[in-house]
């Protein structure tokens, strides 16, 4: 499959060069907008703002290698400042908005940033950070009037010298220079600061394009945290190569409405996004028996087609039946969701229940599950188009080498592997060995065709009292997929005689009811039983507790991308866990 990357950007040596070529070629095409706002930045306007802001940042003392931090929601101004810093050879990077003040201060100190770009919603925190972090000299406010002691966008632009040589600045950026900093989620320890170069990002984007070529001029939606590598490569750097229009969505709860309005050409997210979409579709059908019947009939044909394709039993008759079902039901559904123009559907960050993948595949939405990490510039594997294998994360991207260590740990090598951890040579040496292999900490296995299955994190594996090794993520996915009521589930069983689980309800799905509601308890119990039926006896959850708490992304219990912080959860809920083990389960 030949990639559609335009010849100009295909040969770019840095992201600065890619941006400049795209901005020149697509000058009058839309580049940036915010959902619900009529204002649109063309590529020419985007490039002009970048040039002015780069001059202003330079006047504030930002030079080659000086990181510029941002504390913003998903909004166009992020792109303007981050890209301006990039053209100075200054790594642009983002704080997680949900981090504590202490966590933000630590990150700023590690990065060594002198400039923080923020908005009024976070201004109090930004000013507090300036007091705490010695190196932080300037706070820039992108919305409204900038208070005394801070700078506005206009102030920054006015500070730039007319003699500033913008072209010399960006042409002086080298492929090996640091492009961005990504702080890992810290699900298994203290977050580390990943340094990614221009070469890393270009290698990753071109490798992705070789598998999933995206037609230039498409549309994407930026709704994941800016501090996460997924949003960085998808919506900051990717559009510089693919020429896409980015719609910034500040409130992720409006994602489905935004999708319907924008009609993106590439769409994806974490499993919970897809699970919520499936639940919303099913809920909308519940009120109309005839619509539900038509959908279920079409879905039955779709499921038959999916299985036939996977087992090599596809037939023209079955394809004809599916095309009829698609025209009558699925095409209308995709149009209603705004997904009728999508060339790529993706999911990553956590295991995706096979039932959810099959549901959407039957409806003509083939979701490519992938695996990646900040340390290798995002995804390094992906399920190829037309050859998706549920339960796997696909094959390595072109140019990416992978192998398993003796203990099953996944090792990765290639041009997208990070430069290292900022300010931590010991951790860098532990992560990347002398032969250039990145030790990911994930356990995996490859099938005969090279498809990778991730088993779990090395540190998260449950080894029960009998010495049986189990992957908690697989156990949790099996149960969570059985009901939209479960927002989070954490399996516990290390050095224990059997497994138990802590469950947090999805507030919307539960309709405000809690774990003290008999109906909710019954539905969760039934979901656990159905999930257990898919697991081996030793993996099954014998007892569980519905917690009254809410776990928010970026909290003590969850990373900003929703991964459980298992160590902290086990510490916080020690008493609850011990109570679950206080009496033997009914079946021993």
Phi-psi region of 243 (alpha: psi -120 to 50; beta: other; left: phi over 0): left
Measured distance CA(156)–CA(411) in Å, rounded: 44
Structure tokens at 241: 């190569």
Contact 501, 486 (CB under 8 A): no
Task: Say whether domain 271-340+343-457 belongs to CATH 3.40.50.720.
Answer: no
pTM, to two decimals: 0.85
Superfamily of domain 461-580: ANL, C-terminal domain (3.30.300.30)
Strand-pair partners of 505: 486
User: What SS3 string covers 466-511?
Assistant: CCCEECHHHHHHHHHCCCCCEEEEEEECCCCCCEEEEEEECHHHHC
pLDDT for the residue 186:
58
Burial of 167 from C-beta contacts in 10 A (0-12 / 13-18 / 19+)? exposed
Domain limits, CATH 3.30.300.30, in the chain: 461-580
pLDDT attached to residue 534: 87
- Across-strand partners of 92? 68, 180
The structure tokens listed for 431 are 């992560």
CATH class of 7-202+217-247: alpha beta
Do 445 and 452 form a contact (C-beta atoms < 8 A)?
Answer: yes
pLDDT reported for residue 587: 52
C-alpha 44: how far from its chain's center? Answer: 29
Distances, alpha carbon 556 to alpha carbons 23, 74, 228, 489, in Å: 42, 23, 18, 15
Q: What is the phi/psi pair of residue 267, to 5°?
A: -150, 135
For CATH 3.40.50.12780, the residue range(s) in the chain are 7-202+217-247, 271-340+343-457
Give me 128's structure tokens: 């507090």
Task: Give the pLDDT confidence score for residue 465 in this predicted structure.
Answer: 79
Closest CA to 569 of 517, 502, 518: 502
| Residue 234 and residue 222 in contact, taking contact as beta carbons nearer than 8 Å | yes
Q: How far is 346 from 340, CA to CA, in rounded Å?
A: 15
Digit-by-digit pLDDT tens for the chain (588 residues) are 445 666 667 789 999 999 999 999 999 999 999 999 999 999 999 999 999 999 999 999 999 999 999 999 999 999 999 999 999 999 999 999 988 899 899 999 999 999 999 999 999 999 999 999 999 999 999 998 999 999 999 999 999 999 999 999 999 999 999 999 999 865 555 789 999 999 999 999 999 999 999 888 899 999 999 998 999 999 999 999 999 999 999 998 899 999 999 999 999 888 878 888 998 888 888 888 888 999 999 999 999 998 888 888 888 888 899 999 999 999 999 999 999 999 999 988 777 888 889 999 999 999 999 999 999 999 999 999 989 998 899 999 999 999 999 989 999 999 999 999 999 999 999 999 999 999 998 889 999 999 999 887 777 778 887 777 788 888 888 898 888 899 999 999 988 889 999 999 988 888 889 888 899 999 999 999 999 998 888 889 999 999 998 898 778 888 776 778 888 898 899 999 999 998 655 554
CA atoms of 44 and 56, how far apart (whole Å): 19
pLDDT score, position 588: 46
């Amino acid at each position: 499959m030949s990639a559609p990357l335009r010849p100009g950007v295909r040969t770019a040596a840095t992201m600065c060069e890619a941006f400049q070529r795209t901005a020149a070629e697509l000058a009058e095409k839309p580049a940036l907008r915010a959902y619900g706002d009529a204002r649109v930045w063309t590529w020419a306007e985007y490039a002009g703002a970048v040039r002015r802001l780069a001059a202003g940042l330079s006047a504030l003392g930002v030079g080659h290698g000086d990181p510029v931090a941002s504390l913003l929601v998903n909004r166009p101004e992020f792109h303007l400042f981050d890209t301006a810093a990039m053209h100075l050879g200054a790594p642009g990077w983002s704080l997680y908005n949900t981090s504590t003040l202490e966590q933000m201060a630590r990150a700023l100190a590690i990065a060594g940033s002198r400039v923080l770009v923020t908005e009024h919603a976070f201004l109090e925190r930004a000013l507090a950070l300036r007091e705490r972090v010695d190196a932080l000299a300037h706070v820039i406010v992108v919305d409204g009037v900038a208070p005394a002691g801070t700078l506005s966008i206009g102030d920054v632009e006015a500070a730039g010298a007319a003699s500033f040589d913008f072209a010399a600045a960006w042409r002086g950026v080298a492929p090996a220079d640091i492009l961005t900093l990504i702080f890992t989620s810290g699900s298994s320890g203290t977050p580390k600061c990943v340094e990614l170069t221009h070469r890393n990002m270009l290698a990753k984007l071109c490798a992705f394009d070789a598998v999933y070529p995206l037609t230039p001029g498409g549309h994407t939606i930026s709704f994941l945290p800016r501090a996460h590598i997924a949003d960085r490569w998808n919506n900051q750097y990717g559009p510089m190569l693919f020429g896409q229009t980015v719609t910034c969505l500040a409130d992720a709860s409006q994602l489905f409405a935004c999708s319907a309005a924008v009609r993106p050409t590439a769409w994806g997210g974490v499993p919970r996004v897809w699970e919520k979409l499936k639940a919303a579709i099913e809920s909308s059908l519940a009120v109309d028996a005839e619509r539900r019947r038509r959908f279920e009939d079409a879905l039955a044909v779709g499921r038959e087609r999916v299985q036939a394709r996977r087992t090599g039993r596809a037939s023209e008759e079955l394809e004809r039946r599916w095309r009829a079902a698609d025209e009558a039901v699925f095409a209308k559904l995709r149009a209603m969701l705004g997904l009728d123009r999508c060339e790529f559907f993706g999911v990553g960050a956590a295991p995706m229940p096979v039932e959810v993948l099959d549901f959407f595949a039957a409806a003509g939405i083939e979701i490519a599950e992938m695996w990646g990490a900040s340390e290798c510039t995002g995804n390094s594997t992906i399920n190829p188009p037309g050859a998706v294998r549920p339960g796997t994360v696909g094959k390595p991207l072109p140019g990416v080498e992978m192998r398993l260590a003796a203990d099953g740990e996944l090792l990765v090598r290639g041009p997208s592997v990070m430069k290292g951890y900022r300010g931590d040579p010991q951790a860098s040496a532990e992560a990347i060995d002398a032969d250039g292999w990145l030790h990911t900490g994930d356990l995996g296995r490859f099938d005969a065709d090279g498809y990778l299955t991730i088993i779990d994190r090395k540190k998260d594996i449950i080894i029960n009292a009998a010495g049986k090794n189990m992957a908690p993520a697989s156990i949790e996915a099996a149960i969570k997929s059985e009901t939209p009521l479960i927002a989070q589930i954490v399996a516990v069983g290390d050095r224990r005689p059997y497994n138990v689980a802590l469950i947090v309800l999805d507030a919307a799905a539960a309709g405000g009811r809690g774990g003290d509601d008999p109906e909710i308890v019954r539905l969760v119990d039934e979901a656990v039983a159905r999930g257990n039926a898919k697991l081996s006896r030793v993996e099954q959850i014998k007892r569980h507790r519905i917690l009254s708490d809410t776990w928010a992304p970026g909290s003590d219990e969850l990373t900003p991308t929703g991964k459980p912080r298992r160590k902290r959860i086990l510490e916080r809920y020690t008493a609850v866990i011990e109570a679950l083990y206080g009496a033997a389960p009914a079946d021993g």
